[in-house]
A and B are shown apart, each in its own frame.
Chain A
Amino acid sequence: MSRIKFSRKWLALPYGIFMILFVIIPLLLILAYAFTDVDGHFTLENLTGFFGSASNINTILVSFIIGALNTVICLLLGYPVAYFLAHRDMKMPTAIVLLFIMPMWINFVLRTAATRDLLYWMGLNGGAHPYLCTMIGMVYNYLPFVILPLYTTMTKLDYSQIEASSDLGARPWQTFVKIVLPMSAPGIVSAATMVFMPTMSSYVISDVMGERKLSLIGNSIQLYFDQGLWHMGSIVAVIMLLLIAFGMVATKNVQKEENVRGNMW
């Protein structure tokens, strides 16, 4: 009985090794880099240096505001679209949802540059209006990510409850606020998580649309990368990681729509 019995769990081994090598160790390295100097000695100077600069504080504030604004605008625009597609007997609703997602199949940078060209053509210049143009670019990019989870939740809503509510004399807006909105909360939460953090950490859209006139957290990481300042880049990355972890803990107990990106196919 010396033969090792084949067990299917060993198949996870190559996957586990890959994830340790290229996900866990790199993250540990970022942590180590964030709190060491070029000579490898422990230091808090990266941290104090980052928060000591007013422009970095500004970057974090701007990222928060743009991230929050983008989330709200995308939800305000995407929610009715998803609701109408799910509940106003449209023809071929899934095909229309796919149409909303299809721009994502055009290369991201090309798509963003096309949006900038459209704004140029309409007389809106990113150099003169960096914040407005960046916001428009963000909404263009993240709207499909909102419509998809919202639509999935809406199609699962228990329609009899909505009918019961109006049969019992609730006005349409009461039905909406008391029944539809709470029932679609999982979709709203996953849509918001799909938009808020990625907006804060993106740098391509703000670069292309805002013509490098404004800086988000993503831009400052990219800038340190360009200059080869790994230790400073790492401290910003750690701050970003903390924000993401905070967001995950905050929404931990809320039911979410699973695997929103994977639903594309």
Chain B
Amino acid sequence: MVKQTTRILARVFVGIMLLIMYAPILLLMVFSFTEAKVIGSWTGFSLDLYPDLFRNTEIVTAVVNTVVVALSSAAVSTVLGTVGAIGIHYSGRRMKTALEGVSQIPIMNAEIVTALSLTILFVYFGVRFNFLTLLIGHVVLTLPFVVLSINPKLQQMDPNIYEAALDLGARPAHALRRIILPEIMPGIFSGFLLSVTLSLDDYIITAFTRDTSFATLSTYVYGVTSKKGTLPPTLRALTTLIFLVALLLLILMNLRGKKREEGTR
């Protein structure tokens, strides 16, 4: 009886916490279906904010820029990080400790310190801020996480398979591609996804290392909120769309996880 009550109370608590967490997003979603200038004054159901959103070239450009930066920095980080993780794994003990220690720096460091340090580097060497400086900033942000995702897969790997491939006459490059890469593929994949999410979400490094004419979603939203107070109506529609995409991804991931579980049974 007591157990039953605590179970219900536990569920209610988790439910309320979820509701509070989602309250801001739900509020924006509800008011994305009315044209009201401010949240709270419902002026009738309307879908007009959605076409308005796609006609707003500033927002569309910012979203496209965000995706371009996320995908390109994640691609660079994944390649550099995969090769790096393999190298670190086979390095001597001292080199390994040094490289793993360096990898921890951007993870432990405050993002604003990383951002300022990169800015000073570029200022010191007289580099003009452009897409490349922004890309480097995002690679610094995401690269250590790629190495961190791949590392456990390398440790789980049977070291003898690679040696066997060499004994059987495979050249090192061939053995790397055919033996090691497939083994660590799940780590590479999750490293890439983690890079994309970290980059999409980033504001601070973007703000410090970009060319000021280049806007991402973060810098665009920061710009309009500091000017006007509440979010412009079209951004309510954008929040709704982003939320739906995230929800869809979550459901897909959950289904994929379930399938994998069933497959191993």
Q: Please tell me which stretch of A3-11, A155-163, A177-185 contacts chain B, meaning at least 4 of its Cβ atoms lie within 8 angstroms of it.
A: A3-11
Q: How far is the CA of A125 from the CA of B261 in the complex (A)?
A: 48
- On whether the beta carbons of A201 and B242 are closer than 8 Å, the reply is no
Interface string of B213-229 (1 = CB under 8 A from A): 00001100110011001
B247 CB contact (under 8 Å) in A102, A202, A262: A102
- B35 CB → nearest A CB, Å: 16
| Contact status of A118 and B87, CB under 8 A, knowing A90-B11, A198-B110 | no
- On whether the beta carbons of A19 and B113 are closer than 8 Å, the reply is no
Judge if B238 is at the interface, Cβ distance under 8 Å.
yes
Judge if A64 is at the interface, Cβ distance under 8 Å.
no
Contacts of B66 in A (CB 8 A): 107
Judge if B164 is at the interface, Cβ distance under 8 Å.
no
| Contact status of A244 and B109, CB under 8 A, knowing A11-B87, A98-B254 | yes
Q: How far is the CA of A248 from the CA of B107 in the complex (A)?
A: 12
- Shortest Cβ distance from B113 into A: residue: A237
Judge if B184 is at the interface, Cβ distance under 8 Å.
no
Interface string of B18-34 (1 = CB under 8 A from A): 10011111011000000
Q: How far is the CA of A135 from the CA of B145 in the complex (A)?
A: 29
- On whether the beta carbons of B83 and A201 are closer than 8 Å, the reply is no
* Pair count A-B, CB < 8 A: 255
Q: How far is the CA of A12 from the CA of B86 in the complex (A)?
A: 7
Q: How far is the CA of A111 from the CA of B66 in the complex (A)?
A: 16
- B185 CB → nearest A CB, Å: 13
- Shortest Cβ distance from A18 into B: residue: B80
- CB interface residues, B 192-211, toward A, < 8 Å: 193-194, 197, 200-204, 208
On chain B, the number of residues with a Cβ less than 8 Å from chain A's Cβ atoms is 93
Judge if A13 is at the interface, Cβ distance under 8 Å.
yes
- Shortest Cβ distance from A15 into B: residue: B84
Judge if A108 is at the interface, Cβ distance under 8 Å.
yes
Judge if A131 is at the interface, Cβ distance under 8 Å.
no
Judge if A109 is at the interface, Cβ distance under 8 Å.
yes
**What's the interface size class on A, roughly?**
35 or more
- On whether the beta carbons of B86 and A117 are closer than 8 Å, the reply is no
| Contact status of A109 and B203, CB under 8 A, knowing A11-B87, A29-B120, A99-B250 | yes
B110 CB contact (under 8 Å) in A96, A117, A244: A244
Judge if A173 is at the interface, Cβ distance under 8 Å.
no
- On whether the beta carbons of B201 and A107 are closer than 8 Å, the reply is yes
Contacts of A14 in B (CB 8 A): 80, 83-84
- Shortest Cβ distance from A8 into B: residue: B90
Contacts of B111 in A (CB 8 A): 198, 201
B116 CB contact (under 8 Å) in A30, A99, A120: A30
- Shortest Cβ distance from A28 into B: residue: B117
Interface string of A198-211 (1 = CB under 8 A from B): 10111110011000
Q: How far is the CA of A111 from the CA of B143 in the complex (A)?
A: 25
- On whether the beta carbons of A9 and B14 are closer than 8 Å, the reply is no
Q: How far is the CA of A7 from the CA of B89 in the complex (A)?
A: 12
A234 CB contact (under 8 Å) in B13, B116, B253: B116
B95 CB contact (under 8 Å) in A12, A96, A102, A222: A12
B225 CB contact (under 8 Å) in A11, A15, A103, A116: A116
- On whether the beta carbons of A23 and B105 are closer than 8 Å, the reply is yes
- On whether the beta carbons of A240 and B113 are closer than 8 Å, the reply is yes
| Contact status of A222 and B112, CB under 8 A, knowing A24-B102, A84-B10, A114-B28 | yes
Contacts of B230 in A (CB 8 A): 116-117, 120
- Shortest Cβ distance from B222 into A: residue: A109
- On whether the beta carbons of B86 and A11 are closer than 8 Å, the reply is yes
Q: How far is the CA of A229 from the CA of B235 in the complex (A)?
A: 34
- On whether the beta carbons of B149 and A262 are closer than 8 Å, the reply is yes
- On whether the beta carbons of A106 and B18 are closer than 8 Å, the reply is no
Contacts of A240 in B (CB 8 A): 110, 112-113
Q: Which residues from chain B sit less than 8 Å from chain A, CB to CB? A: 6-7, 10-11, 13-14, 17-18, 21-25, 27-28, 39-40, 66, 80-81, 83-92, 95, 99, 102-103, 105-114, 116-121, 123-124, 136, 139-140, 143, 145, 147-149, 172, 176, 190, 193-194, 197, 200-204, 208, 217-218, 221-222, 225-226, 229-231, 235, 238-239, 242-243, 246-247, 249-250, 253-254, 257
Q: Which 3 A-B pairs have the closest CB atoms?
A: A15-B84, A12-B87, A11-B87
Q: Which residues from chain A sit less than 8 Å from chain B, CB to CB? A: 6-16, 18-20, 22-27, 29-30, 33, 77, 80-81, 84-85, 88-90, 94-96, 98-100, 102-111, 113-118, 120-121, 140, 143, 197-198, 200-204, 207-208, 218, 221-222, 225, 230, 233-234, 237, 240-241, 244, 248, 259, 261-262, 264-265
6 A-B pairs besides A15-B143, A19-B99 with CB distance below 8 A are: A15-B81, A15-B83, A105-B246, A107-B218, A203-B112, A265-B193
